[in-house]
Amino acid sequence: MILVIYYPFVVVAQENKISMLKIEGGGDEKICPVRYKQGIVFMSSARTNLLKTVRDETGQIPYNLFYQKVFNELVVGGDAVVFSDNLVTEFNDGPVCFAKNEELIFYTRNTDVDNINNSKRNRTLGIFISTKGKGERWHQSSSFEHNRPDYNLIHPATNSDGTILVFSSNMPGGKGGYDLYISLQDHLGHWSKPRNLGATVNTEGNEVFPSFFKDEWLLFSSDGRASQGGLDIYRSRWEEDLFRYSASTPLDSSINSRYDDFGISLNDDGSSGYFGSDRNGSEQIYFFKQSLPKLEDCAEEKPLNLCYYIEENSIVADSDHPLKFVWDLGDGTKKDGLEVYHCYPGVGKYVAALQIIDTISNEIYYSVSELEINIALDDRPYIIGPDSVYINDYASFSADMSGLKKEVREIYWDFEDGSVQMQKNVNRYFGLIGQQNVRLAIVADDGSIQCVNKNIEVVDKNTVISKYKVLSHQKKVIPVAESKLGYAVQLLQSFKKEVLSDSILLKVNYPITQRFNEVDSIYQYTVGESDKVASLYHLYKEMRDLGFDSKLISFELNYDNSIDAKEVLIFFSPGKDEITAYNEANLNDFSRKLNASSKLEVLGYADPSGSVKSNKKLSYRRAINVAKYLEKCGVSERNIEVDAIGEVRTSSMEAEMLRYYRKVEVRLIEN
């Protein structure tokens, strides 16, 4: 015959946070304390003249309900007394829970309390409900409508208004042993069919002794999880949107032990209360109070900087060419512009690379620069949560400790309403408009404490808020190189010297420069030279049209190719006088340096491939075409002096040198 369901529970004496409540007048076993008025109601095996000396079939004395007045949480006043003589039975009574300002009681007792001497009668346990009458008298109890004679319903827990009931039962269809179930009361007073709380709470073991904390948290004991040992106490938060309780987490190790710990009742501060345990050899009631550190002079929370302005300041934008600047930001994001603003998803190392894209071919014209952005957590805790919340709303906060170098022993959340919570993630209710402070403290294994605080703005429902502030911005700039860079179009590169008269290079109508890259021990063959990346675009395209896999390279300038340059050279194909797009770009750039009074000398040249007369005419046409283009650029005709030099003959007439003489020189003679 089962008279009461409880289990050998847990706790070793742990530090000074836990103290046994010394109650005189109770029996040897005292469990399941619940706050009531100025004391606690608990279950005890004590015998009194109100109770017959009854034992169950195992010889155990049944548990009944007692009340003990308590001062200052640990100091008891007088002996424990029977809680209510009109709720007493000869069998088991309790545990209990209260609702509606302690005017409504739910408690466990045997469903059949008649004919005590008939040991063959069914002695299953059920839940009973009573309301308070005058004084401390309780009306006759009514049976919970889902009590059954073939299985037990035990350990009721209810919310503050008594409309939600959670209890433990071994009814068929559970996950194993005793499971927790929930039933809701409708407006007519009927209770819904009990629903199993599911895998977030229940296991193949036993889930027993539930209790509520501020209607939001469900606390209960379980022996079906990897734990300190025996029964341990767990908590789970109600998730309204999912209509379920969240995944369960164990309470602090100062409460759970290698013995059985169960039947917890929290005070309003959430950091103190009573629970039962057999850590000292018998079931007794313990008071616990978290030894909280003094959280003074907490550093103000500094959000992790995830957002950056990234700027390349050594390149000048040029709208005259079909080019665009694109940042590959290293996290799968690409953004256009020399300066971009970007928020990274989290901690990590990111390489931001700036590329110039040819919008016609959609190919990379030039890879300008790279910047490594290392986003790392400092050695401190971070508060992850909103900066603003609506009144009468909940907000979730999380402690990010991934940057800490020391092992974490304890976590404390300290709120302005005086409540303290000790877990990584918390959910808080905000009921007052104005600024409220949240403090987070991390205690390391060596006892050191790191503390941060965060101010939360609580606003009315008519205020438009952003759940999170825009994180602080940091400007990342690609530094300008100490030595000035020049750029050229690379035709090819080789580990050996190439002969400039090779047929592939003779297709090029510009002077070819040979450079030796000492870093890579390689020869580079380039055309064009400029301190502006975009100005080489047309030359780059022209070389590609000739069949070269051309690309831009950079090098250190050994001369000043700045805005004060007084000469520009225009090169031509053999026998041709057409100005290429690249040379047009050079003339455009040169003309922008001039003013209305600038005077120019335009000199045309030719190589000695043809006759002297034809070469003279060719050099003149080249000069005239350049002069006409300068006029289009805004230079007055009367300020341009044109002359045809004709062919140039030198002692070295190798084919690779002739390209140097197919040109027009434009000189600034007066500015």
What is the reported pTM? 0.48
**pLDDT-based confidence at 147, cuts 50/70/90?**
very high
The domain containing residue 257 runs over which residues? 18-289
Helix 612-632 × helix 581-591 angle, to 10°: 50
Is the residue at 12 inside a domain? Answer: no
Residue 57 domain flag: yes
Same domain for 525 and 602? no
Q: Which of 106, 94, 85 is nearest to 31 (CA)?
A: 94
> Does 389 share its domain with 534?
no
Flag whether 5 is in a domain.
Answer: no
∠ CA(54), CA(59), CA(62), 5° rounding? Answer: 45
Would 2 be classed as within a structural domain? no
The answer to whether 177 and 224 are in contact (CB under 8 A) is: yes
Co-location of 630 and 501 in the same domain: no
Length reported for the chain: 671
Grade residue 133 by pLDDT with cuts at 50, 70 and 90. Answer: confident
- Sequence letter at residue 165: L
Q: What is each CA distance from 542 to 80, 121, 364, 557, 578, in whole angstroms?
A: 101, 104, 16, 24, 14
- Please indicate, yes or no, whether residues 219 and 284 belong to a single structural domain of this protein: yes
Q: Which residues contact 279 (CB under 8 A, 6 or more apart)?
A: 10, 11, 12, 13, 257, 259, 261, 286
DSSP class of 191: B
Q: Which residue(s) pair with 263 in the sheet?
A: none
| 276 pLDDT above the threshold of 80 | yes
617: three-class secondary structure by DSSP: helix
Residue-level pLDDT at 476: 77
Q: How many domains does the chain have?
A: 4
**Which residues of 518-639 form beta strands (DSSP E)?**
522-530, 551-556, 567-571, 599-606
To 5 degrees, how large is the angle CA 396–CA 402–CA 408? 90
Give per-residue pLDDT as tens, 518-567: 767 788 889 988 888 888 899 999 999 988 988 998 887 655 444 346 88
The closest of 67, 56, 87 to 26, measured between CA atoms, is: 67
Average pLDDT value for the chain:
83
- Taking a C-beta distance cutoff of 8 angstroms, is the pair 414, 397 a contact? no
Query: Residues 10-32: pLDDT tens digits?
Result: 222 234 478 888 887 656 788 99
Asked which of 289, 310, 335 is the last residue of a domain, the reply is 289
Residue 407's CATH number: 2.60.40.10
Indicate whether 6 belongs to any domain. no
3-state secondary structure of 115: coil
Residues 274 and 333 in one domain: no
pLDDT number for residue 531: 82
CATH code (residue 615)? 3.30.1330.60
- pLDDT recorded at residue 3: 29
For residues 151 and 172, give the distance between their C-alpha atoms in angstroms, rounded to a whole number: 8
From residue 163, how far is each of 29, 93, 192, 196 by CA, in Å? 32, 22, 10, 17
**Whether 350 and 275 share a structural domain:** no
The residue to which tokens 């548990």 are assigned: 63
Residue 125: inside a domain: yes
381 and 305 in a common domain: yes
Q: Are residues 163 and 56 in the same domain?
A: yes
Calculate what percentage of the chain has a pLDDT beyond 70.
87
Query: Can you give the CATH number for the domain in which 207 is found?
Result: 2.120.10.30
CATH of residue 506:
3.30.70.1070
Which of 532, 562, 592 terminates a domain? The answer is 562
> Residue 349 falls within a domain, yes or no?
yes
Check whether residue 155 and residue 274 sit in a common domain. yes
- Of 110-114, 167-171, 290-294, least confident by mean pLDDT is 290-294
> What residue ranges in 278-381 does DSSP mark as E strands?
284-289, 299-300, 307-312, 323-328, 334-336, 339-343, 348-358, 363-375
Same domain, 190 and 95: yes
For residues 265 and 283, state if they share a domain. yes
Let me know if residue 11 belongs to a domain.
no
Q: Are residues 103 and 162 in the same domain?
A: yes
Domain boundary pick from 289, 305, 324: 289
pLDDT for 454 beyond 60: yes
